[in-house]
Structure 1
């Protein structure tokens, strides 16, 4: 997939989840502290989160979530615990929650069309890379052929470049002069 999705949720409590979609090439380590704070700020709004003073909000790539049939509804595990990050929310920060509520925009995007557009762009990029690879391979093949031709003795033993003893005798050069020309 073109981008990573990060899941934020309150650790060891039921709550709504926050999903953050990263840009292509970004990782969980590239998320700014402010974005993490904003994503975690809404978590104390959960039913259980309102009753406690401090909570831990964990976040991890969606692909790191592990769900087995024996787990309760809403419970998840992780494939790799090194990919799980935790941020502590000591208390509800009303300014952040109010700002987020004021700027909240609910959209109903055509996810299928977006997904198809991303796949089409990736397919075009792969085709371009393949075309470039084939072009480089063809250039390398031609270069090898040219080098092989240069190293080949085939061009040395052609009648136009050969000289017979009669031709040498006709030049009226001595044997030593002919040898010096040869060397």
Structure 2
């Protein structure tokens, strides 16, 4: 079971979600998407909360309101963290999560600890939590199918981008060739390299003779 929440409306149309238990958390770790940002209470047990960003967003552009919604949700779903004030919440991109075979179910590490951000939550804010819980929807998604579809769409996008890149390169090549032809033609039309009829006549040659010389 995966629980889905809608973030505050003024932040935009963003979805926050989390697994109902550690087994679902394991699936979310496995089938996350590059645009997902993972949240967890630091140093104590808590839910794994994810924020799905939009294409073009980055972890550094997440608004304060969105961060607050995610941090409040993850704090509220931590047995220890929910009772504490000034709780540190860590968050990082899904791609920075590292899962080793020796780790317990739901346990993760980081590929690069320097890419982990920390946000301090002073206290529980029931107003935020009540608003989020009113939007809660429970689903049993096919996470693998969703990831496969996302990967296929990304692959098709890269293919189109490559095709467009090659088309532009071919157009640039044709333009350069035409420009080179024009420069070459202009070089042939330089006055010093041209022979007039008067010059031919003064040289005592007929047009037929000039043509025969050319041939």
**TM-score > 0.5 by shorter chain:** yes
| 8 Å Cα contact 1:67/1:76 also seen in 2 | yes
Q: Equivalent residue for 1:13?
A: 44
After TM superposition, the structure 1 stretch with the greater mean CA deviation from structure 2, 48-57 or 92-101, is 48-57
Question: Could you report, residue by residue, the CA deviation over 1:82-141 in whole angstroms, capped at 9, with x for unpaired residues?
Answer: 322222223222222222222211233444444344334333332332232222222222
Cα pair distance change 1:109/1:156, threshold 3 Å: same
Cα pair distance change 1:106/1:140, threshold 3 Å: same
Q: Equivalent residue for 2:11?
A: none
Q: Equivalent residue for 1:84?
A: 116
Cα pair distance change 1:68/1:112, threshold 3 Å: closer
Cα pair distance change 1:30/1:111, threshold 3 Å: same
Q: 5+ residue gaps in structure 2?
A: 1-31, 205-215
Q: Equivalent residue for 2:153?
A: 121
Q: 5+ residue gaps in structure 1?
A: 172-183
After TM superposition, the structure 1 stretch with the greater mean CA deviation from structure 2, 84-93 or 34-43, is 84-93
TM-score, length basis structure 2? 0.62
Hey, what's the Cα distance between the residues in 1 that align with 2:165 and 2:134?
Answer: 50
Cα pair distance change 1:73/1:120, threshold 3 Å: closer
Q: Equivalent residue for 2:68?
A: 37
1:135 aligns with one of 167, 177, 184: 167
Q: Please state if 1:49 is matched with 2:81.
A: yes
TM-score, length basis structure 1? 0.71
| 8 Å Cα contact 2:36/2:94 also seen in 1 | yes
SS in 1 for 2:137: coil
| 8 Å Cα contact 2:89/2:120 also seen in 1 | yes
Hey, what's the Cα distance between the residues in 1 that align with 2:103 and 2:155?
Answer: 38
> Which has the higher relative contact order, 1 or 2, with Cα contacts under 8 A spaced 6 or more apart?
2
Length, aligned pairs only: 168
SS in 2 for 1:121: helix
- Bigger-Rg structure (1/2): 1
